[in-house]
Amino acid sequence: MSAGSLLPFNQLLCAGCTWLALMAVPLFADSQDSSQPAAKTVPRIEQGYRLQEWDDPAMPFQPRQALTPAGQMRNEAVAWFMAGRLLEARNEPRRALTAYRKAVALDPNAIEIYRSLVPLEFQLDEVEEAVKSATKAVELDPAEYELLHMLASHAALTGKLPEAIRHLEQAVKSPRVDKHSLENVMLHKSLGTLLNITGQPKKAADSFEIVFDALVHPEAYKLDSRAKSRLLADPQISFERIGQIFIDAGRIKLAEEAFDQAAKGGKVGIGNLSYNRARILLLSDKPEEALAELQKYLDAQRTSKGRDAYQLLADILEKLKRSDELIARLEALAAKDESNLHLQFFLASQLFAAGELEKAREIYEAALPQGADAVGYVGLARVLRKMKRPAELLDLFHRAMNKLGPEGLVAIEAELKTIAEDAQTVDLMIAAGRDQAKADPPQLTFEKSIILAGLAKSLDRIDDAIEFYKAAINLRKEQNVPLYTELGNMLIRAHRYAAAEELFTDALKERRVASERADLLGMLARSQVLNGKLKESLESIEESLKLEPGDIGHLFDEAWIYSHSRQFDEAIARFEKLRDMTADRKPLQRICLFTLSSVFVQKGDYRKGEEILEKILDADPEDTQVNNDLGYLWADQGKNLERAEKMIRKAVATEPDNGAYLDSLGWVLFKLGKYEEAVAPIEQAVKKNTGGDATLWDHLGDVQLKLNQVDKAVESWQKSLKSTEEDKFADTQLVERLKEKLKQHAPQASRPKPATPGAP
C-alpha cells in the first residue's frame, strides 16, 4: 500500500473482504467462538449489509476484474488498518497495535499506517519498535515532519543529540510545514535549543530568529495569546535567553531587540539588564561604557549570572589593557559579599592562576562550608595538587563524596581522571593512604580507599588496586558485593584468573541473601572456567540457578561457559533456547543473537553466523554493533570489502574509542591492501584493550610484516602467542598459526641490519 493507496470505504464491502468479516464477527479470529455455526454470525452477502437496522443495505462491490494477489494483500492491509482505528476508538490500544502491525506487514510501504502505528508504539512504551517504524516511514516519505519530530525527541532523550538535530533539520525543510505556523515555530524551538546545547550558536540563532519573530509578531504565525504564553513559559525561549543566544552568534541588533522585549515584559531585573547591556557594549567595542554598565550589576550584589559576570569583568578589563586590576577589584567585591560563592571561587581561581596558592587555598576552605559546590572542590583539589599536599587532597575528596550530589560527583570524577595522568601525584596519594591506614586510630576511610583503588586501576597498577579494593571491602562489609564484582572483573581483565576465583570463593564465605549469593556464584563460575576448571564452573552456575531458577543472566552465563570451553553445540543449543525465551525482551534477545552468531563463527559455520547478523542489519541498518560485527566477519573472509569498510567506519564514527571497532577498521584496511592506514587503528585498539588480546596482537603483527617491520611483527606475534597460551581452552589453530609465523620470521628479526642501505 503506497502513499495514497487506502481504498474508499464502500470498496471494502466486496465479496470475501476481510473488513466485512471483521464487522460481522469479533475483530480477531482467535477470539471467535468456533463452536457457533458461521451461518448465524455472518449475514448473507447477496442481501447487502447494514450496520444498523434502519440503514439502507450496502451492496457488495463487484470489481470488473478479479483482484491480483498484490491487490488482495492491499485490501487485507486496509482491513487491518481500519480495525486498528476502530480498536483505538474503543480504547483498546494493545489490540489496535496488533492490527496496525498486521496491516504494515501486509503493506510495508503504506505511510498512512505508520502515522497511526508510531504514536501508539511510543504511547505503549514499545520504544525500540517505534523508532524502527518511524525510521522506515521517513525513508518512505522524507517530508513526514511529525514522525521526524518524534524521532528527534526520542534521540534527544537518549542523549543522541547529533541524531536529534539531523531529524529536526530534515523536518523544518518539509514542504508540508507552513513557514508561518505554530508547527514551524515549535520545530525551530526544538532545533535551536539542541543547536545551542551542542555549541553551534550561529545555527541556533537562525532557528531562534524565527521563534523571536513569532513572539513579536504572533498574528503573522496565527498564534493566539495562549500559544504565545505557553512558548514564553519555557525558560529556554524567554526573551532574555533568546537575546543571549543572539549575542553568542554576534547578532547585536537582534540581541538588543530581544533584551528590550524582556524589559517591556517586566520579568527581568535591573541588574540582569545591566549585565546584558554590558555584554552588548563590549561586543560593540565600547569597553568603558560596558564597565560602567556592569558595575551596576556588581554593586547590586547580584548572583543570577553566576561566574559569567566576573568573567565578563575580566574580558572588559583585558579589552581596556587593565587586566592587572582584576584581582584587586574582585577582592574588594568579595570583602563586601562573603556569601557569594560564585565570586569567592572566581577570585580563588584567579589567585591560583597568579601563583598565589596559599591565598587561594584559604578562600576555598572558607567558602566551601557555606555550600557544597563542585567548582569549589575541584578548584581546591587543583591548589592542593600544585602544593603537593596528598593527605589533604585525599581528605578533600572524602568530603566531596559525602557532600556532593550526582552532578557534582561527575566533576570530581573528571578531576580524578586528570590526577590519574600525573603518576607522581598518584604515588604521593597512595603513600598518604597507606600512612592513614597505619595511623592509630586508622584514618583511611571507605571513600578514600575507593579513590585510591580507582587511581591505581587507571594506571594498571594491579597490586596497588587490589590492596585498596580489599580495604574498601573490609570497611563496608554490608555493601561489598559491587566491590567484589569490580575487583573480580579487574582481575579477570588482567588474566589473573586464579586470584579472581579465590576472591569470589572468599566472598561466598560470608552470609548473603539468595540474590547476592547467586550473582557471586555466577562470577565465580566465569573465573573458574577461565582458570581451566570446567567441572567446578558448571557446578557453580548450577548452584546459582537453584537459587534463582530460570534467571536469564545465569542461563546466559551457563551458555557462555560452554562456548568458552569450545563445546559449541552445547552452547548453541542454550543460546537458541535463550533467543526464544527473550522474544518479548528485545534488548536481551539482541545480546543473545550477537553471541549466538559469534559461537557459530567460532565453530567454523560462518554462513549461519552471517545470516543472524544480516537479519539484524536488515531490520536496523543503523545498528552500530551489527555494522561492526558483520563488517569484520566479511573482512576476515576477504569478501564484500568495500561495503565492509563503510559499515565499520560507521561504527567507529559512533564509538571512536571502542577498541574492537578500531581493530575491525584496521583489519578491513589490511585486507584491502591499505597497510599504512591499517596500522594506526590496530595500535589504538591494542592500547585500549586492558590486558591485551591475542587477536589484536596477531592482526598488528600481520600489518607490521607487510610494512617490512619484521622485528615489531615478531614481538606482536609473541605477545599474541603468550596471551593465547594463557587461555586454558585456547584455539589450537591460532596457536599453530602463530608458531608457524614465528618459525618463519623470528630468524629474520634477529639478523643484524646492514650498516648502509644495500649492503649485503
pLDDT given at position 33:
41
Confidence band of 379 (pLDDT split at 50, 70, 90):
very high
pLDDT given at position 569:
96
Q: Which residues partner with 49 through β-bridges?
A: 58
Confidence band of 615 (pLDDT split at 50, 70, 90):
very high
User: How many degrees, rounded to 5, is the angle at CA 146 between CA 143 and CA 150?
Assistant: 120
What DSSP line would sit under 579-644, residue for residue?
HHHTTT-HHHHHHHHHHHHHHHHHHT-HHHHHHHHHHHHHH-TT-HHHHHHHHHHHHHHT-SHHHH
pLDDT tens digit string along 106-118? 999 999 999 999 9
pLDDT tens digit string along 232-267? 777 777 888 899 999 999 999 999 999 888 888 766
Distance CA 363, CA 373 (A): 14
Question: Is the distance from CB of 494 to CB of 510 less than 8 angstroms?
Answer: no
Residue 51 pLDDT exceeds 70: no
Residue 587 pLDDT exceeds 70: yes
Domains observed in the chain: 9-140 (1.25.40.10), 658-750 (1.25.40.10)
pLDDT given at position 268:
60
The sign of the CA dihedral 543, 546, 551, 555 is: positive
pLDDT given at position 61:
54
Percent of the chain surpassing pLDDT 90: 68
pLDDT given at position 751:
58
Start-to-end Cα distance in the chain: 75
Confidence band of 495 (pLDDT split at 50, 70, 90):
confident
pLDDT given at position 362:
96
Distance CA 80, CA 98 (A): 9
pLDDT tens digit string along 657-675? 899 999 999 999 999 999 9
pLDDT tens digit string along 69-111? 777 888 888 999 999 999 999 999 999 999 999 999 999 999 9
Which DSSP category does 51 fall into? S
Question: Is the distance from CB of 595 to CB of 621 less than 8 angstroms?
Answer: no
pLDDT tens digit string along 550-577? 999 999 999 999 999 999 999 999 999 9
pLDDT given at position 17:
40
pLDDT given at position 285:
93
Burial of 32 per CB tally in 10 Å (0-12, 13-18, 19+) = middle
Residue 446 pLDDT exceeds 90: yes
For residues 51-64, give the mean pLDDT.
Answer: 58
Residue 14 pLDDT exceeds 80: no
pLDDT given at position 44:
45
Q: What is the pTM of this model?
A: 0.67
Residue 183 pLDDT exceeds 50: yes
Residue 167 pLDDT exceeds 80: yes
For residues 377-393, give the mean pLDDT.
Answer: 95
Confidence band of 529 (pLDDT split at 50, 70, 90):
very high
Distance CA 327, CA 342 (A): 14
For residues 275-282, give the mean pLDDT.
Answer: 92
Question: Is the distance from CB of 168 to CB of 194 less than 8 angstroms?
Answer: yes
Single-letter code of the amino acid located at 334: A
pLDDT given at position 550:
92
pLDDT tens digit string along 28-47? 334 344 344 444 344 444 45
Q: Give SS3 for 61.
A: strand
For residues 403-430, give the mean pLDDT.
Answer: 90
pLDDT given at position 69:
79
pLDDT given at position 57:
64
Burial of 277 per CB tally in 10 Å (0-12, 13-18, 19+) = buried
> What is the pLDDT of the chain when averaged over all its residues?
87
pLDDT given at position 351:
97
Rg value, the chain, Cα: 34
Residue 315 pLDDT exceeds 90: yes
pLDDT tens digit string along 136-159? 999 999 999 999 999 999 999 988
> Quick one: which of 516, 491, 488 has its CA closest to 504?
488
